[in-house]
A = this chain, B = another copy of it.
Amino acid sequence: MAAERLTAIYHVTSDAAAIERHATGIAVEQSVEMPVAAIDDPQILSDIVGRVETITELAPGRYEVRIGLATATTGADVCQLINMLFGNSSIHPHITFERVVWPPGLAERFGGPRHGLAGLRRRVGVAEGAMTCSALKPQGLAPPALARLAARMAEGGLDMIKDDHSLADQAYSPFAERVRQCADAVAETNARTGGRTAYLPNLSGDLDQLRRQRDQARAAGVDAVLIAPMLVGLPAFHTLVAESPDVAFMAHPSFTGAQRLAPPLLLGTLFRVFGADATVFTNYGGRFGFSPELCRAIANAALEPWPGIAPCAPVPAGGMTLARVPELLDFYRPDTILLIGGDLLSAGDRLVEVGQAFAATVRGHRYATPVPAAAAGL
């Protein structure tokens, strides 16, 4: 029986004369990484060495290359999967890693989101329609000040309040104390208003610290958290998800700067496969350079139907403004969490009212009908 393979899809910049050599080079680099002629074991040649499946010209000088890699080489381990998919090839400036065609059951073995879009909706009691989110910042504030801010955002009726990803375990705002105070403040506000705002603290550090912080968050009544998979490391992220079935995870894109790993693949597919229930990405038209098409591709990768892998909620963010809410809702449609930080914090004394207006705008939005052509892909 032929060894099972997954297909890794790369885009390669090359002249026509060299593309076959480049493609073979990737197949070898991402499997045995040695001269194939020096391999005399027939089973390794047939079952382990990578294979060029197709080479397709996308544009002059730009090609899609599909490589079949033996599933057995990945050991069904996050660390080794990434190593085999884009380890050494990540060092080649002419190669970007775009997509994976998963053999049956492989992605499912990693588990995907344990709660996903539906689980997040249940947590905050929003059965349909987009959800709202903001961020506690600036770092430097002590826990009482952050807790007061959280209370006002909850008062404003936001669905989710997350720590800014810069809030770690700094001396001026120790994790356990901050999380306890912010969680209490949100719970007290919810009890008073009848709201169901969720508070998501930011977990960081090594696996030991992540576990301690998760337990401290649980002790504070928290059941959803923020985490930056590329900062903590994909293996730590995946392990924490797998052993914390009660916790929902929102992924943050900090340190995902390996742009040659296509954002829809990393922020959409891979973070989802490894267990993100929601994924934050930098929105088009804000202070980052992502295009609408790229943002749509990320959202699609997070949401597209995938039997055995729950949908992951797309969370566009980064320099978004309240004025753009209607446009963004028509673009992302209802299966989304809108994350607005700075523009809400700029409201100062009017934060509660502006928060209420943000929530009300999202709740009351009438989605453009017919669906704008640009949004139909979602």
Contact = CB atoms under 8 A, between A and B. Distances in A.
Interface stretch (A25-33, A186-194, A327-335, A362-370): A25-33
Contact of A47 (B47, B78, B140, B204): B140
Contact of A204 (B80, B141, B253, B346): B80
Interface in A38-86: 38-41, 43-44, 47-49, 72-75, 77-80, 82-84, 86
A44 B141 contact: yes
Interface string A210-247: 00000000000000000010011111101100000000
A165 interface: yes
Contact of A169 (B75, B90, B94, B256): B75
Given A141-B41, A258-B257, A289 B93 contact: yes
A209 B37 CA distance: 34
A292 B198 CA distance: 53
B77 A137 contact: no
A154 to B, nearest CB: 19
Given A137-B33, A255-B86, A72 B172 contact: yes
Interface in A278-306: 282, 287-289
A195 B2 CA distance: 43
Contact of A48 (B88, B91, B138): B138
Nearest to A318: B88
Interface in A318-338: 318
Interface of A: 25, 29, 31-35, 37-41, 43-44, 47-49, 72-75, 77-80, 82-84, 86-94, 137-141, 145, 164-166, 168-172, 204-209, 228, 231-236, 238-239, 253-261, 282, 287-289, 318, 341-343, 345-346, 348
Given A34-B346, A75-B170, 6 more contacts: A40-B348, A41-B140, A77-B204, A89-B257, A90-B254, A208-B239
